[in-house]
Amino acid sequence: MGRFAETVFVNKDLSTLDHYMDEAYIQHNPLVEQGLAGFKSFFGAWFSTIADFNYTLKKIIADEDHVWLYGTYTGTHTGNFLGIPATGKEYQFDAVDIFRIEDGKLAEHWDVLDVYSLFKQLGTI
């Protein structure tokens, strides 16, 4: 799981997602489309819109078939993202991501994001 977080969120490399993620990946975040393709599309847009996108993994907890990641997302809002025109403002927010593992691959995802903090930093609320 740490390798997935480093490859995708630190190195911004989406080319090997099929090694980590099931094609029918179930996404419980309404902003991200279902499946591996939905994940790739969402994060590809985020990485290209926020050139200094950064993720810092702070904690990993795992049991038989679930993994919890706690980390911080940072960047500068330099392009249209989530329907919000570029503000040029820096942001930082924490998130907890919960993944269900099936047959050695990520099969399902839930998240808890501090979107209030994100939107406040961007000046949208």
Domain coordinates in residue numbering, the chain:
2-122
| Tokens at 76, concatenated | 């500068």
pLDDT for res 9: 85
Specify the CATH number of the domain 2-122.
Answer: 3.10.450.50
Q: Is 58 helix (H, G, I), strand (E, B) or coil?
A: strand
Separation between Cα atoms, residue 16 and residue 1, nearest integer Å: 14
pLDDT for res 119: 93
- CA torsion angle for 12, 14, 27, 110 (degrees, to 10)? -40
| Tokens at 2, concatenated | 């740490």
Percent helix, percent strand, percent coil in the chain, to nearest 5: 30, 40, 30
| Tokens at 95, concatenated | 């998130």
Tell whether the model's pLDDT for residue 83 goes beyond 80: yes
Separation between Cα atoms, residue 47 and residue 91, nearest integer Å: 14
pLDDT for res 58: 94
pLDDT for res 123: 92
Q: Is 5 helix (H, G, I), strand (E, B) or coil?
A: helix
Percent of the chain scoring above 70 in pLDDT: 100
> What pLDDT, in 10s, does the model give residues 2-12?
788 888 988 89
> What pLDDT, in 10s, does the model give residues 89-124?
999 999 999 999 999 999 999 999 999 999 999 999
Tell whether the model's pLDDT for residue 17 goes beyond 90: yes
